[in-house]
Amino acid sequence: MYRVVFAGLGLPPLTGTVPGTTTQPLALGTLRAGILICYESTFPAVARALVTQGANLLVTASNDAWFGPSTGAEQHFQMGRVRAIETRRWWVRAGNDGISAAVNPQGQVIARFPRGVAGAFTAPYGLAETRTLFVRWGDWVPLLAGTVLGLVWARQRWLIPTPT
């Protein structure tokens, strides 16, 4: 896909790069950090794969400068918060022009610098080993929930008589 997009934009092809063959956390003693580079934090499957491989903390380094003055950086941050909730992992994020923050497994922001503010902060975090339904079964959880809701809706719509 990159070849087509790059060619369409008149850019040279990517050369000298070799994609990795596995996804695994970075082990540092008992800490096993699931590293999500920039926009990878928006993809549930990436965080899930890292947690399945043993990540007990999620970490993101991000460059949100390309969003410009839009609300894109905030949206990018909020999408990452969902990864913390889905996996029940602490999420620590450092953004060079975006939002730097620490988020607990319930999605609560514990510490945060707004966009464009330089600095450093100390924030608590924890290491988690739990396996959520999403981590165990992936997209089957929301698909099953949607199917059940659709069946309940259909049953109520066609089996409950409409008053006349």
Q: pLDDT for 79-134, tens place per residue?
A: 999 999 999 999 999 998 889 999 999 999 999 988 888 888 898 899 999 999 89
Report the pLDDT value the prediction gives residue 160, as an integer from 0 to 100. Answer: 64
- Whole-number pLDDT of residue 162: 60
pLDDT at position 55, please?
97
Bridge partners of residue 129, in order along the sequence: none
Distance CA 153, CA 159 (A): 10
Beta bridge mates, 102: 92, 111
Q: Is 57 a residue whose pLDDT tops 80? A: yes
The confidence score (pLDDT) of residue 98 equals 81
Quick one: pLDDT band at residue 163, thresholds 50, 70, 90? low
Q: What local confidence, expressed as pLDDT, does residue 87 receive?
A: 96
**C-alpha span between 93 and 99 (Å, rounded):** 7
In this structure, what DSSP letter does residue 162 have? P
Of 62, 114, 61, 124, the residue nearest 90 (C-alpha): 124
Write out the H or E segment, with its range, that includes residue 15.
Answer: none
Dist. CA 136–CA 52, nearest whole Å: 8
What's the pLDDT score for residue 131?
94
The residue-averaged pLDDT of 149-161 equals 82
The answer, yes or no, to whether residue 1 has pLDDT greater than 80, is no
Q: Are 64 and 37 spatial neighbours (Cβ–Cβ below 8 Å)? A: no
pLDDT at 124: 87
Residue 124 is which amino acid? P
Residues 6+ apart with CB under 8 A from 65: 96, 97, 98
Distance between CA atoms of 105 and 84, rounded to whole angstroms?
5
